[in-house]
Amino acid sequence: MELISLFPTWYEPAVGSGWVVGFIATFHVLASHTSVGAALLFAYLSYRAWKDDRDDYLDFVKKYGLFLLVFTYVAGSLTGVGIWYSTTVASPNGIGALIHSFVWKWATEWVFFVIEVIGIYMIVYLVGKVDKKTHMKISVIFGIASFATMVIIVGILSFMMVPGKEAWFDEGGYLLGFYGDNTFIQLAMRAMFMLTMTAVVGGIIVAGIKDAAFKKEMTRKLGWLGIIATLLGAAMFQLYLNSVPDYALLVMENRLPDYFGPSIAIVLGLTIGYFILTMVQPKFLVSGFAGTMAIVILVAGLWPEETARESMRKPWVAGQYVYSNQIIGRDVPGMDIQSQLPLIEKVGILKAHPFTPEHLREAHNGNQIQAGEFITMTYCANCHSVSESGIRPLHRYFPDQVTQEVMARYIRGALVPGNIAYMPKMPMLESEVQAIAAYLTKINNDGLDATNLAISEEIANREAEKVQLVKQPGLVISMKSSAEEIQ
Amino acid sequence: METVQLTEMMYALRNPAGVPFYPIVFIALGVLTFAMHIFFVQLMLGTGAITAYGAFSNNPYWQRLASSMLEIAKVSVSVAIVIGVAPLLFVQVVYDPQWYTANVLSARWVIAFIVIMIMAYWLMYYYYFRNGKFGQGADKPKARWSIIASLAIFLVAGWIMHSLTSQMLHPELWQSWYSPNGMIDTSGSQLHANSPWRFAFFILTAIPVAGAMLVAYRRFKAVREDADHAYLDWAAELGKKWLKVGSLLVLIPYLGWMLTLPETAENFAGSIWSILPALGFIGLAVWSHLRLNDPKSICNYMVLAMAFIAVLLPSIGREVLRYDILNGFFGYNFFDYKVIIDWYSTLLFFGTFAVVGGAVLGYFLTIAWKVGQSKGVYVPSAAVDRAGTIAIWIISLWMLHFFVLGFWVWMQ
């Protein structure tokens, strides 16, 4: 057998597996960035509390810390694990590539996670139980540990877009994969964003402060933090766009929805306006307003930004060598990795896939629709839905009542050689081209129910043929395996 | 599919990037961190069960204990989650063919796990905030359903993880799960494999683990000036009972697990790796009976370490069982995973773990310990204060190294 590293496919028809990852990741980014930013703020406030002997700063830290403990640490830590789980089921080879290159880096981050989790409990529960100097020391350690989790993960996220140095492809090694233009600029951009989030979410706590003078002071502090971070963050985003490969910008221009640019601009304006308003009139700062702003930034700012980052790296999903459909599409001599495309070209995707059922290993007239379904699930389902709903439904790309011949010509001309810029190369044997064309045509013209019915008929016919063969005298012994299978 | 084909399939599913250090190291770390993770899971379940029982009890001691154990349960969930990240990482490194397949085949449950965990954790916090730290005992606790629901939902989450790890061990069934009756099933809507005895064993181990915590709790609180010794003695006696009875009780599901192992496990049930965990729990019961009679003895703290060793032994056995099935029967040997050694990142992890982790957690836990035993505001001694300064220096130097090295590589 000549097999490649392909796992079963999880197909999520309602929204698409990619969006499931996106939902979890976006929520995690909101929670984790707020936590890291707040950790730095706590370090600063705890330091000031010690230097200026201010109890109210520590009281604020305690309240903000408890809020974060319940909301962002619970949901943040679980959605962080959730990103692993969701990418495992949506993109096992994508996450596998990152895990196998950066396992020690993740393990190092884990040390800081442990420090963070114990640290947040100490920061919250030890206010008033230890002297201010000790609280300051705990807070400073906590702040640096939190920031360490961010600097580590950003290097891994950058690798997803593009390995740090081009030399990584030839020489391999953790350092060349981790550090590069994209790493540091993305880090700066995310650092600014996390401070913005800290200022916005912190508003929920400031809104509850009863002492008017202290409320005004904290509103101003958070306001300035928010404004400066938002402006610098916007500038960093522009720099970030300059640090990604040219093709990524091209993909971004072609693939992102029209509302992306205006949406980012509106959120920027809203955020700055919000900070100015609350600084001038702290009485406007109520928890509902601050909470709404956090959601606005999440929905209108963070979601498009994360979507852009996800879309830009297509057709790759990790390190510019793992395609979004999980196939390795490029040699990486430095890691002794070979492209899987030549083998697929030679034996076909059905024979190369370890999970192809025995009866589908060769496509023919008797199993064409089902073989087509299997190929579609393998090659397309990560990014396209076969139903009416879901992510980028396939039926939108083909005219009504398209013929199988036209469909096959399109597949042969565009998909097999990889002639669509942001889509992977998808080698297929001619029998496989016919199979996927038959399936896509059926889906497009007759819908999903009719296609599933056609598959059921193929299976029923196959079973009937087996029974027929067993019933024929003289064939029983030679078809022993079939008979056993039926029994 | 023939066994040899399954072997070939699992080897094909390995990540071609290889691993950056010897696979046995990842296995060892995986076992150790799994044992730590499951220990805190069991601590959370045991102390959570005490909280739930106390919520319905009229006994003031139970109510008071419930309130204290809720604090431990809350922190234990956090610690269990954060420590659980490590075994989840390491299992993907050398057992990625099995782990990823098991996950994808039950993808909806994998996603549901996250939501379920968040719900369970928030319900525990909901109970906490509805009642406050001293709410119990003063009045009948409010929203008692929430602590019961929290524990029940945590058990569902545990069942999902249990099923996934069981599915890893059945490569012979993967194809039939993916294409039942010849029809491809990409929904990931089913949990396919389980072993109720195994699940019951790991859950019921919460009893001796929580018992150990109760004994240590008495020792820890007894030194305070305001200690209520009658109450603490009652709690410790309860803990001793849980330790002794619980350690023997878990042998029943353990035996059930060993007797119902799949045929692919061959002779594991009679091996030393199967017998050692049982001996560990018998040893814990005997040791608790003999060594916990003096309330001031250091053994009252050591009991936590003893309980951990008892949990570590089945964690090792579990790993050997996995190796026995996947290598012994199916011919998948993690030892021959492609290795491309990366010395820098390897040393970085171990250095960070030992130096940064050691210095910071040593400082943090010293402070937490001292505060728990002090009345009023705790002011550390000069030595402890210096330990804090050293910890700041160490973690700052780590950060400095990250950027200096990074800029150097960047500029090349």
B12-42: per-residue pLDDT in tens? 999 999 999 999 999 999 999 999 999 999 9
pLDDT of residue A487: 37
Q: Give the pLDDT mean for B331-340.
A: 96
Domain chopping of chain B, boundaries: 3-341, 342-412
Q: Nearest 5 degrees, angle CA B379-CA B384-CA B386?
A: 110
Distance from CA of B70 to the nearest CA of A (A): 14
pLDDT of residue A408: 97
Q: How far apart are the first and last CA of chain B?
A: 51
Neighbours of A216 (CB within 10 A): 17
How many angstroms separate the CA atoms of A298 and A447, rounded?
36
* Spatial CA neighbour of A415 closest among A407, A406, A423, A404: A423
Distance from CA of A354 to the nearest CA of B (A): 6
pLDDT of residue A34: 92
Contacts of B174 in chain A (CB under 8 A): 8, 355
pLDDT of residue A482: 41
Q: Which of B8, B182, B186 sits opposite A377 (nearest CB)?
A: B186
φ/ψ bin of A478: left (φ > 0), alpha (ψ from -120 to 50), beta (otherwise)? alpha
Distance from CA of A400 to the nearest CA of B (A): 27
Contacts of B353 in chain A (CB under 8 A): 107-108, 111
How many angstroms separate the CA atoms of A50 and A458, rounded?
76
Are residues A359 and B182, on separate chains, in Cβ contact within 8 Å?
A: yes
Contacts of A359 in chain B (CB under 8 A): 182
Residues paired with A328 in a beta bridge: A322
How many angstroms separate the CA atoms of B52 and B200, rounded?
19
pLDDT of residue A260: 75
Neighbours of B132 (CB within 10 A): 12
> Choosing among B9, B89, B192, B353, which should be mutated to test the A contact, i.e. which has the most A CBs within 10 A?
B89
Select A17-323's CATH number: 1.10.287, 1.20.1630, 1.10.10, 2.30.29. 1.20.1630
pLDDT of residue A10: 97
pLDDT of residue A359: 94
Q: Give the pLDDT mean for B305-333.
A: 97
Q: By the 8 A CB rule, do A240 and A185 touch?
A: yes
Q: Which of B29, B374, B395 sits opposite A141 (nearest CB)?
A: B395
pLDDT along chain A (487 residues), means of 10: 92 89 89 94 97 96 93 87 95 97 97 96 95 98 97 95 94 94 92 92 91 94 95 90 81 74 83 92 87 79 75 88 96 96 97 96 96 97 89 89 95 95 94 97 95 94 82 48 40
How many angstroms separate the CA atoms of A340 and A338, rounded?
6
Return all residues near B408 (Cβ < 8 A) that are at least 6 apart: none
- Checking if the pLDDT of B159 tops 70, the result is yes
Select A340-486's CATH number: 1.20.120, 1.10.760, 3.30.40, 1.10.1740. 1.10.760
Are residues B389 and A119, on separate chains, in Cβ contact within 8 Å?
A: no
Q: Give the pLDDT mean for B313-321.
A: 98
How many angstroms separate the CA atoms of A50 and B99, rounded?
49
pLDDT of residue A379: 97
Are residues A100 and B19, on separate chains, in Cβ contact within 8 Å?
A: yes
Domain chopping of chain A, boundaries: 17-323, 340-486
Contacts of B175 in chain A (CB under 8 A): 355, 357
Which residue of A lies nearest to B75 if distances are taken between CA atoms? Answer: A121
Are residues A104 and B103, on separate chains, in Cβ contact within 8 Å?
A: no
Contacts of B183 in chain A (CB under 8 A): 370, 455-456, 459
pLDDT of residue A291: 87
Q: Which of B8, B365, B402 sits opposite A1 (nearest CB)?
A: B8
Query: Token pair of A183, please?
Result: 């790493």
pLDDT of residue A246: 80
Q: What is the CA radius of gyration of chain A?
A: 27
Residues paired with A371 in a beta bridge: none
Contacts of B407 in chain A (CB under 8 A): 184
Contacts of B340 in chain A (CB under 8 A): 172, 335-336
- Checking if the pLDDT of B274 tops 70, the result is yes
Q: Which of B89, B100, B111 sits opposite A7 (nearest CB)?
A: B100
Residues paired with A318 in a beta bridge: A322
Which residue of A lies nearest to B15 if distances are taken between CA atoms? Answer: A96
Query: Token pair of A361, please?
Result: 């290993």
Average predicted confidence (pLDDT) for chain B: 95
CB pairs under 8 A between A and B: 304
Residue B376, classified by CB atoms within 10 Å of its CB into exposed (0-12), middle (13-18) or buried (19+), is exposed
Question: What residue has token string 């830009």?
Answer: A312
How many angstroms separate the CA atoms of A86 and B264, rounded?
30
Does residue B134 or residue A242 have the better pLDDT? Answer: A242
User: Where is average pLDDT lowest: A276-290, B58-72, B95-109, B334-348?
Assistant: A276-290
CB-facing half-sphere around the CA of B384: CA atoms within 13 A: 21
User: In one letter, which amino acid is B294?
Assistant: D
pLDDT of residue A480: 40
- The tens digit of pLDDT for each residue in B234-272 reads 999 999 999 999 999 999 999 999 999 999 998 899 999
- Checking if the pLDDT of B361 tops 80, the result is yes
Contacts of B15 in chain A (CB under 8 A): 5, 93, 96-97, 99-100
